[in-house]
Amino acid sequence: MNELYYPLNDFGPLMKGLVIGGLGIVHVFLAQFAIGGGMLACWFEWLHGSGRSSLSREFIDRYFKILVLVSFVLGAVTGVAMWFTTIQIGPRTIGLMVQEFHWIWAIEWTFFCLEVISGYCFYRCGSGLDHRTRLKLLITYSASAWFSLFWINGILAWQLTPGEWLQTGNVFDGFFNPGFLPSLIFRTITSLTIAALVAAVVVNLVPSWTRSDREEIIRHIAMLLLPMMAMPLLGVWYLSTMPSDSQEWLMGGSPAMMMFLVMAVGASTLVGCYSVLGLWKQRLFINGATATMLLALAFTATAGGEFVREGVRKPYTVRNVLYSHSMTLDDIRHLREVGCTTNDPWPLQDAADYPTDQLRLGAHVYRVQCSICHTLDGANALSHLSSTWSTDQKRLNIGQLQRTRNFMPPFAGTPEELEALVQMLEWHHEGRPEEWTSTGSPELYDKLREWIEAAPLPASQVTSEGVNQ
Ligand code: HEC
């Protein structure tokens, strides 16, 4: 049996998963801006060299300053913050990702270093260099930025579609998984789109330019929005690589997931239509306000898309291997015997708030098994979700969690722990009174054990070499 490390922190009204999700969205958006920004700068430098645009050079220098300030500084801060929160919230998932893919991470970091160094060189010295050197530097920058996406993308896609790796445990089977290619192309096009929309904002910030100067640059920017036309097809391809239960949630099985999908598709469609029909075909002008609004829509699309990607993985962080609360199926079997709180080294922070030991136990079970996706009163609140259930319904539905909703992991504790959790939820729902009668009898616990075991566990848990160490 493994030592299980549970999160220390309590994020109050935010479920823990949401903290990672929220940070992740900002980080992904900034990182994609950095990648697309490099490509955009290459394109404009080439336009300058081939005599197609007299203003492009000035534009790159202004654009690149913003790129470095926003994306390098905020991107780096949110990136480090991601590591800090994920190792707090899902240390075992991160552990597995590092264990399986350490060489890939190492390669990714070398590309990231190259990206930062070449980006800074261009930022500091770019304006004094000749065209060929500038182009070389920008190509180095954008190629290394894109390759850092290439490497990370494989690891992220593996979490949802680990593919052959489940049988072979081979790093490259995991890396070049079914979702790898569609998500790589999808993210590359997203990067170009974000960079182009930021450019449309920047064009409007140059005080000395006339309207026709701006129009010239906008025409060139519009070219970078054209690949968006492939997005619907890519989206369908990406969806088709997902496991069938994930697809079902998106097609209506989970209202929340479907809402995020609609948000992502709707916002992308609006950006796409305006870009392709307006900017490219009709050669419309775009002012600062419209450009900012389109950028906000692109952010909405990214947010929706990232939520969908994180959401459809439920109840796993690594599909078929590791559940969202950092347990494997073997752990769940084991914890049903010994209890999920017995060997948990972390005490309850608010133990004094509970009038009885049973309620304290219930709160502990909640923290270990539910708090990654639920809160008591805030987002996805348990007191609200279970409020209409009778006591026996709570016992049955929570004991058979994977049957209640198949995006939840199976209950991983003893009948005593189940009863304690149910009592804690009822006590909380009643407004946390100072007195509460403890429950439990051998007959009740026998019945609860029967209920827990009546719901089948997934047939076979495929484990790769590293998982159970
Ligand atoms: C992997 C994430 C995850 C974990 C872990 C999880 N849940 Fe859920 N649970 C969800 C989601 C998502 C919903 C759907 C919420 C909705 O429909 O709005 C849900 C719904 C519920 C519902 C309402 C079910 C219904 O049919 O209306 C209850 C009750 C519930 N969870 C209890 C729990 C309890 C108790 C635990 C801990 C033992 C737990 N959940 C662990 C994600 C999770």
Q: How far is the CA of 406 from the centre of ligand 1 (A)?
A: 9
Would you place residue 9 in the very low, low, confident or very high pLDDT band (cuts 50, 70, 90)? very low
Q: Report which residue type is found at 468.
A: N
Q: Tell me the pLDDT tens digit for each residue of 274-284.
A: 888 888 777 78
Range name among 2-11, 241-250, 459-468 with the lowest pLDDT average: 2-11
Q: Tell me the pLDDT tens digit for each residue of 116-135.
A: 999 999 999 999 999 999 99
Closest CA to 403 of 453, 365, 369, 364: 453
Joined tokens for residue 321: 């291997």
pLDDT at site 459: 67
- Domain-by-domain residue ranges, the chain? 16-321, 327-454
Please give the mean pLDDT across all residues of the chain: 90
Q: How many other β-carbons are positioned within 10 Å of the β-carbon of residue 241?
A: 19
pLDDT above 80 (res 469): no
Closest CA to 324 of 386, 412, 404: 412
Ligand 1 atom nearest the C-alpha of 17 is 2
Distances (CA, A) of 286 to 131, 192, 202, 211: 29, 18, 11, 10
CA–CA separation, 322 vs 328, rounded Å? 5
On the 0-12 / 13-18 / 19+ scale of CB atoms within 10 A, 307 is: buried
Would you place residue 310 in the very low, low, confident or very high pLDDT band (cuts 50, 70, 90)? confident
Q: Taking CA 298 as the corner, what is the angle to CA 297 and CA 302, rounded to the nearest 5 degrees?
A: 115
Q: How far is the CA of 289 from the centre of ligand 1 (A)?
A: 41
CATH class of segment(s) 16-321: mainly alpha
Q: How far is the CA of 354 from the centre of ligand 1 (A)?
A: 23
Better-scored residue on pLDDT, 86 or 391: 391
Q: Are 282 and 222 in contact (CB under 8 A)?
A: no
CA–CA separation, 416 vs 127, rounded Å? 70
Q: Are 257 and 250 in contact (CB under 8 A)?
A: yes
Q: Out of 373, 388, 396, 424, give the residue to mutate to test ligand 1, the one with the largest number of ligand atoms within 8 Å of its CB.
A: 373
pLDDT above 80 (res 6): no
Ligand 1 atom nearest the C-alpha of 324 is 1
pLDDT at site 309: 87
pLDDT at site 282: 78
Ligand 1 atom nearest the C-alpha of 372 is 5
Determine which residue's CA is closest to atom 5 belonging to ligand 1.
370
Q: Out of 401, 411, 424, 452, give the residue to mutate to test ligand 1, the one with the largest number of ligand atoms within 8 Å of its CB.
A: 401
Q: How far is the CA of 381 from the centre of ligand 1 (A)?
A: 9
Q: How far is the CA of 337 from the centre of ligand 1 (A)?
A: 23
On the 0-12 / 13-18 / 19+ scale of CB atoms within 10 A, 404 is: middle
Q: Out of 20, 89, 319, 374, give the residue to mutate to test ligand 1, the one with the largest number of ligand atoms within 8 Å of its CB.
A: 374
Would you say the pTM of this structure is higher than 0.85?
Answer: yes
Please provide residue 322's backbone torsions phi and psi, each rounded to the nearest 5 degrees: -125, 125
Q: How far is the CA of 408 from the centre of ligand 1 (A)?
A: 6
Within 6 Å (CB) of ligand 1, which residues are found? 256, 314-315, 324-325, 369-370, 372-374, 380, 382, 385-386, 398, 401, 404-405, 407-409, 411
Please provide residue 317's backbone torsions phi and psi, each rounded to the nearest 5 degrees: -100, -30
Q: Tell me the pLDDT tens digit for each residue of 226-258.
A: 999 999 999 999 999 998 888 888 888 888 888
Q: Tell me the pLDDT tens digit for each residue of 154-169.
A: 999 999 999 999 999 9
- The average pLDDT across 55-72 equals 92
pLDDT above 70 (res 327): yes
Better-scored residue on pLDDT, 77 or 379: 77
Quick one: CA dihedral 344, 345, 346, 347, positive or negative?
Answer: positive
Q: Tell me the pLDDT tens digit for each residue of 10-59.
A: 455 566 777 888 888 999 999 999 999 999 999 999 999 999 988 999 99
Better-scored residue on pLDDT, 5 or 94: 94
Q: Are 389 and 395 in contact (CB under 8 A)?
A: no
- Cis omega (within 30 of 0) on the bond before 409? no
Q: Tell me the pLDDT tens digit for each residue of 159-217.
A: 999 999 999 999 999 999 999 999 999 999 999 999 999 999 999 998 899 999 999 99
| Residue whose structure tokens are 């990654």 | 372
- The average pLDDT across 137-150 equals 97
Ligand 1 atom nearest the C-alpha of 404 is 26
Determine which residue's CA is closest to atom 29 belonging to ligand 1.
386
Ligand 1 atom nearest the C-alpha of 398 is 35
Q: How many other β-carbons are positioned within 10 Å of the β-carbon of residue 273?
A: 11
Q: How far is the CA of 407 from the centre of ligand 1 (A)?
A: 8
Q: Tell me the pLDDT tens digit for each residue of 69-115.
A: 888 889 889 999 998 988 888 889 999 999 999 999 999 999 999 99
Q: Tell me the pLDDT tens digit for each residue of 419-457.
A: 999 999 999 999 999 999 999 999 999 999 999 999 998
Q: Are 318 and 93 in contact (CB under 8 A)?
A: yes
Encode the chain in three state secondary structure. CCCCCCCCCCCCCCCHHHHHHHHHHHHHHHHHHHHHHHHHHHHHHHHHHCCCCCCHHHHHHHHHHHHHHHHHHHHHHHHHHHHHHHHHHCHHHHHHHHHHHHHHHHHHHHHHHHHHHHHHHHHHHHHHCCHHHHHHHHHHHHHHHHHHHHHHHHHHHHHHCCCCHHHHCCHHHHHCCCCHHHHHHHHHHHHHHHHHHHHHHHHCCCCCCCHHHHHHHHHHHHHCCHHHHHHHHHHHHHHHHCCHHHHHHHHHHCHHHHHHHHHHHHHHHHHHHHHHHHHHHCCCCCCHHHHHHHHHHHHHHHHHHHHHHHHCCCCEEECCCEECCCCCHHHHHHHHHHCCCCCCCCCCCCHHHCCCHHHHHHHHHHHHHCCCCCECCCCCEHHHHCCCCCHHHHHHHHHCHHHHCCCCCCCCCCHHHHHHHHHHHHHHHCCCCCCCCCCCCHHHHHHHHHHHHHCCCCCCCCCCCCCCC
Would you place residue 460 in the very low, low, confident or very high pLDDT band (cuts 50, 70, 90)? low
Q: How far is the CA of 416 from the centre of ligand 1 (A)?
A: 20
Determine which residue's CA is closest to atom 39 belonging to ligand 1.
370
- The average pLDDT across 356-385 equals 93
